[in-house]
A and B are shown apart, each in its own frame.
Chain A
Amino acid sequence: MNGGMKINKISDWIWEIPKTEKEGMLVPARIYASNTLLEKMDQGVFEQITNVACLPGIQKYALCMPDGHWGYGFPIGGVAAFSTEDGIISPGGIGFDINCGMRLITTNLKIEEVKPRLSDLVNELYRSIPAGVGSKGFLKLSLSDFKEVMIKGVDWCIEKGYGWPHDRERIEEKGRIAGADPSKVSERAITRGVNQLGTLGSGNHYLEVQLVKIENIFDEKIAKIFGIKEKDQIVIMFHCGSRGFGHQIGTDYLRIFDKTKKKYGMNVKDRELACAPFNSPEGVDYYAAMVCAANSAFVNRQIITHKIRECISRVFGSSAEKLGIEIVYDVAHNIAKREKYVIDGKLKELLVHRKGSTRSFGPGRSELPEKYRDAGQPVIVGGSMQTGSYLLVGTDRAMNETFGSTMHGSGRTMSRRAAKKRFRGDQLIKDMKKDGIIVKAVSLSGLAEEAGFAYKNISEVVETMDASGISKKVVKLLPIGNIKG
């Protein structure tokens, strides 16, 4: 399915499209995949990753992770690093859902305590965390409050009592990225996003109650460090982003970059790859606005965490502290980050675009909290609602090979339309109930689009990155309750 492009095998898990395969490629493109995953990969991935390889200032390789599939602009699963001196920034390399990401939360509850009240728990979470088209959160923020959200991120939540002080340590960038400038955000983005904090969204966004089984713990020592301490433990995982606020910032700047691309001589192969030099006025503005959205996404996930703590406390009649409801980690997988890497023997600052890709920093990095510094960064990979998800750990190898990046999920293999033709939401609810998974969904057709068969085999995707040494498996987590928009 590679559209006739030449692909060289670099190892069992790495495939390279040489830069001679498409006019304008500045670097080769590399795809991480098993043989089977490569064979089944969308043709769009090969087109899109080689388009990315043509963007000015790109370093080493345009990368695609094993969950890669046809997206818009970049493929989903795409990673590209650009020099901050003479490279670009592209909204299409980040996605409209800026800082869409994953958060994993532990409890000290065991399956035997949760099973009899699982239905109550799922109903309580469904009632408290709005999801689906047109959902609003419980917070009523003024404009100045919302500007504080953009700048302070999770620190704002902690000040207002929506989090514990040590929560911030367990969030990428401590939940607050520097460089936010609310004056670079349109009024439209603010009106669109101000009422949506604490909401899940729809599509592939979800909240899941998950189970740790003893046979699914691959690295007991690191699992313990991350707070997965015993068999039959219950954890909560969820997936969402910056909601309408980020979507509007993406739309606003795509429109601006589409107009300025001529001025900067940006001859892109896909209009959605519209970009501007990172150091241009438009590039600087977009980065400052993108950081506002990224910080608001951290806040969104923090408000949801607050609601999760309240819900579990109510259902189990104990405090969140006593129930051990702690954040394991929070990762952004649609974002551009300023990070330093050695390029040609010199330390260089790069703008790493991750679109459907997770940071996977290895041990010893100063960005990691002390608690995790010897182990490496927790990497949270969400699978389909029927098959399970993974917690992994970042490695040194990721720092050398993939700009500290890895996969973000299992990756779709079937279009939404095709899934809807093949599956029915009501039947899925019944089938999943038989498998011990309780589902509450706003939309039955939306649920059908998310059927497990519409996704790649998560274990094969994870195996690829584990075997290639980019991120190592720690625990597989099985769904027992699921909320979808």
Chain B
Amino acid sequence: MEEFEFLDDIATADVAIESRGDTLEELFGASATATFEVMVNTKGVKPRIKKVLCLESQEIDTLLFDWLSELIYLKDVEYMVFSDFHIQIQKDANYLLQAQIFGEEICPTRHELRCDVKAVTYHLFDVSKKKGKWVSRFVLDI
């Protein structure tokens, strides 16, 4: 199951998140939803526009870093927020991520906007499997 929680007592001025999933796809989905929850109430973001992403990385942690960085980049370049993530991750020589992500253009009058996210940091960054669940921890620069 996709889950995430905001960690109150880490990195005072920024936002620390722990996300969990039974699979890597769920973990990446939960991490993406958590990142957009910082910026907007994602319940109010309709899945109107589709974007397709392909990423490749040697390590699973750098893949997560690249995935979140790509979403933050798209938010600024496309002026979009996203709320629905269909992800496939394959492990070959490298990890390959293919995703269809759904959202809509930012509308300050319709969306409940929160704080902008500047970047994903490597501070306390971790991706690991604990008791059969994938767990990640990351800090977003606000």
Q: Which residues of A contact B (CB under 8 A)?
A: 42, 44, 69-73, 76, 92, 95-97, 132-134, 136, 188, 191-193, 196, 201-204, 244, 247-248, 250-251, 254-255, 258, 270-272, 274, 412-418, 442-443, 445-446, 449, 485
Contacts and interface: CB of A to CB of B under 8 A. Distances in A.
A77 B39 CA distance: 25
B138 to A, nearest CB: 10
Interface string B87-121: 00000000000000000001010001111101111
Interface of B: 6, 8-15, 39-40, 62, 65-66, 69, 72-73, 75-77, 79-81, 106, 108, 112-116, 118-125, 139, 141-142
Contacts of A196: 76
Contacts of B72: 247, 251
Nearest to B80: A134
Contacts of A92: 121-123
Of the listed residues A95, A416, A442, the one surrounded by the most CB atoms of chain B closer than 10 A to its CB is A416
A132 to B, nearest CB: 6
A272 B11 CA distance: 13
Contacts, number: 146
B119 A96 contact: yes
B69 A132 contact: no
B79 A416 contact: no
B30 to A, nearest CB: 17
A191 B72 CA distance: 13
A204 B122 CA distance: 21
B108 A247 contact: no
Contacts of B124: 270
Contacts of A136: 79
Contact of A244 (B76, B112, B139, B141): B76
B122 A71 contact: no
Contacts of A418: 8
Contacts of B121: 72-73, 92, 96, 254, 272
Nearest to B141: A96
B141 A44 contact: no
Given A254-B122, A415-B8, A415-B10, 11 more contacts: A71-B14, A95-B141, A203-B118, A204-B13, A251-B119, A270-B124, A271-B125, A413-B12, A417-B6, A446-B113, A446-B115
